[in-house]
Amino acid sequence: MRHPIDPKIDCVFKALLGSEENRNLLIHFLNAILGPDLQDPVTQVQILNPYNERQFLTDKLSIVDIKAHDDRARRFQIEIQLLTYAALLGRVLYTWNDLYNHQLGSGEDYGKLKPAYSIWILGEDLLPGDAYYTHRYRLRDERGQCLLNHGGIYLLELNKFADEQVTTEEQRWLKFFKEGEHLDVDRLPVWMQTPEMRQAMNTLTAFSEKELAYDVYQARQDFLRQQRAIERERRSTQQAFEEQKAALAQKEAVLAEKDAVLAEKDAALAEKDVVLAEKDAVLAEKDAALAQERAARELERQGKKAALAEIERLKALMKGDNPPAGS
Which residues are paired to 140 by β-bridges? 146
Backbone φ, ψ for residue 80 (5° rounding): -100, 130
pLDDT, tens digit, 9 for 90 and up, residues 142-167: 898 988 889 999 999 999 998 778 99
Question: pLDDT exceeding 70 applies to what percent of the chain?
Answer: 89
SS3 152: strand
CB 327 within 8 A of CB 309: no
Q: Is residue 28 part of a domain?
A: yes
Decide if 32 is inside a domain: yes
- Crossing angle (nearest 10°) for helices 211-319 and 195-209: 90
Q: Which is it for the CA torsion 203, 204, 205, 211, positive or negative?
A: positive
**How many percent of the chain have pLDDT more than 90?**
50
Residue 134 lies in a domain: yes
| Position 210, amino acid | K
Distance CA 156, CA 10 (A): 16
Rounded to an integer, what distance in angstroms lies between the CA atom of residue 11 and that of residue 31?
Answer: 22
Work out the angle at residue 224's Cα, subtended by the Cα atoms of residues 220 and 230, and round it to the nearest 5 degrees.
Answer: 150
pLDDT recorded at residue 174: 96
**Is 151 domain-assigned?**
yes
Query: Is pLDDT larger for residue 51 or for residue 262?
Result: 262
- 234 versus 122: the higher-pLDDT residue is 122
Q: List C-alpha distances in Å: 84 to 115, 122, 144, 212.
A: 27, 8, 29, 29
CA max distance for the chain:
163
Residue 105 lies in a domain: yes
- Cα separation, 140 vs 138, in Å, equals 6
In a domain, 95, yes or no: yes
Number of domains present in the structure of the chain: 1
Contacts (Cβ under 8 Å, ≥6 apart) of 35: 41, 169, 170
Alpha-carbon span 144 to 268, nearest angstrom = 61
Identify the band that residue 121 occupies on the pLDDT scale cut at 50, 70 and 90. very high
Residue 271 lies in a domain: no
C-beta of residue 8 within 8 angstroms of C-beta of residue 177 = yes
Asked if residue 327 has pLDDT above 70, the reply is no
Question: Residue 121: which domain range?
Answer: 10-209
Q: Per residue in 194-215, pLDDT tens?
A: 999 999 999 998 887 765 566 6
Q: What is the pTM of this model?
A: 0.69
With contact defined as beta carbons under 8 Å apart, do 156 and 33 qualify?
Answer: yes
CA distances to 156, 231, 233, 238, 269 from 246, in Å: 34, 22, 20, 12, 34
Distances (CA, A) of 271 to 143, 267, 285: 62, 6, 21
pLDDT, tens only, 2-35: 678 899 988 899 999 999 999 999 999 999 999 9
Mean pLDDT of 80-101: 92
Q: Side chain identity at 244, as an amino acid letter?
A: Q
User: Does a structural domain hold residue 204?
Assistant: yes
Confidence grade of residue 279 (pLDDT, cut at 50, 70, 90): very high
